[in-house]
């Protein structure tokens, strides 16, 4: 397939079994509309790639920071392998242009697409591992993901947003942030929350999420950006 050849060129990869690459790009929604498609969805590859990714990143951090305790290394790793980071890397390497999605999923460009892109990245790692082995997967991750570590350290994005915003707010303005639910809706199994983060009585930013905790973290992240504190 020309598309696969084009993507392999962009990724500087050459698959022995191109069906593994095709499967890594195939979301389950696509198979709902194309049940006779020749490969399965990417969820099993994602499962495998997640484990390979975690090991590669862990090895790299362990060797790179011999003086850092386990807690710091865990935080660094979490900042590198979370869905936001992996989706950003997927966009950078243009996986998004090659995903096979249902017509409905193809229209969604919000948080759902972020998870799809992150999962596709993990599936791609799994496909590389199966096709070419651990070292090839390691080299790919070193090339496309590990350079983001400098950004993680510079922005302190290895710290959770609430802790970081609290530290910055206390240091810069001597105020501890507080959070209030601004709005919530939906049934118990599908709740959504909008939470505001305040410094005193001043609303700094809002965040949305499927839980109060997730909405608080999004609000803190938005506040950090709005204040220019990262």
Looking at residue 1, what is its pLDDT? 44
The pTM assigned to this predicted structure is 0.75
For the annotated catalytic residues, the residue numbers are: 50, 122
67 CB burial (10 A radius; 0-12, 13-18, 19+): exposed
pLDDT band for position 34 (cuts 50, 70, 90): very high
Higher pLDDT, 154 or 180: 180
pLDDT band for position 57 (cuts 50, 70, 90): very high
DSSP per-residue string spanning 98-166: G-B--HHHHH--SHHHHHHHHHHHHHHHHHHHHHH-HHHHHHHHHHHTGGGHHHHHHHTTTS-HHHHHH
The SS3 of residue 16 is coil
pLDDT higher than threshold 70 for residue 152 = yes
Rounded-to-integer distance, Cα 15 and Cα 209, Å = 38
pLDDT band for position 113 (cuts 50, 70, 90): confident
CA dihedral angle for residue 70, residue 75, residue 78, residue 84, rounded to 10 degrees: -170
- Average per-residue pLDDT for the chain: 92
Looking at residue 183, what is its pLDDT? 95
pLDDT band for position 78 (cuts 50, 70, 90): confident
Rounded-to-integer distance, Cα 148 and Cα 101, Å = 28
Which of 132, 99, 130, 88 lies closest to 7, judged by CA? 99
Rounded-to-integer distance, Cα 143 and Cα 80, Å = 13
Higher pLDDT, 61 or 159: 61
Rounded-to-integer distance, Cα 61 and Cα 220, Å = 27
The C-alpha angle 222, 203, 157, rounded to 5 degrees, equals 25
The C-alpha angle 221, 223, 226, rounded to 5 degrees, equals 115
pLDDT digits over 190-228, tens only? 889 999 999 999 999 999 988 999 899 999 999 999 999
Q: Can you tell me the mean pLDDT for 94-113? A: 83
Domains of the chain, each with CATH number or no CATH: 2-155 (1.10.1520.10), 161-227 (3.30.160.20)
Looking at residue 59, what is its pLDDT? 98
Q: Can you tell me the mean pLDDT for 131-145? A: 97
């Amino acid at each position: 397939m020309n598309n696969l050849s084009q993507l392999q060129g962009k990724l500087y990869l050459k698959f022995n079994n191109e069906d593994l690459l095709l499967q890594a790009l195939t979301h389950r929604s696509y198979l709902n509309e194309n049940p006779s498609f020749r490969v399965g969805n990417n969820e099993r590859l994602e499962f495998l790639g997640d484990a390979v990714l975690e090991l590669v990143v862990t090895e790299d951090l362990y060797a790179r920071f011999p003086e850092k305790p386990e807690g710091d290394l865990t935080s660094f790793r979490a900042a590198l392998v979370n869905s936001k980071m992996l989706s950003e890397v997927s966009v950078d390497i243009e996986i998004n242009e090659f995903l096979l999605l249902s017509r409905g999923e193809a229209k969604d460009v919000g948080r759902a697409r972020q998870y799809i892109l992150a999962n596709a990245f993990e599936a791609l790692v799994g496909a590389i591992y199966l096709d070419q082995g651990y070292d090839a997967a390691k080299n790919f991750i070193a090339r496309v993901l590990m350079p983001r570590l400098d950004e993680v350290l510079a922005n302190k994005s290895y710290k959770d947003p609430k802790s970081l915003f609290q530290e910055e707010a206390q240091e810069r303005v001597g105020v501890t942030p507080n959070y209030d639910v601004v709005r919530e809706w939906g049934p118990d199994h599908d709740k959504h929350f909008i939470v505001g983060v305040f410094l005193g009585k001043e609303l700094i930013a809002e965040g949305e999420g499927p839980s109060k905790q997730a909405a608080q973290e999004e609000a803190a992240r938005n506040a950090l950006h709005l204040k220019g504190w990262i």
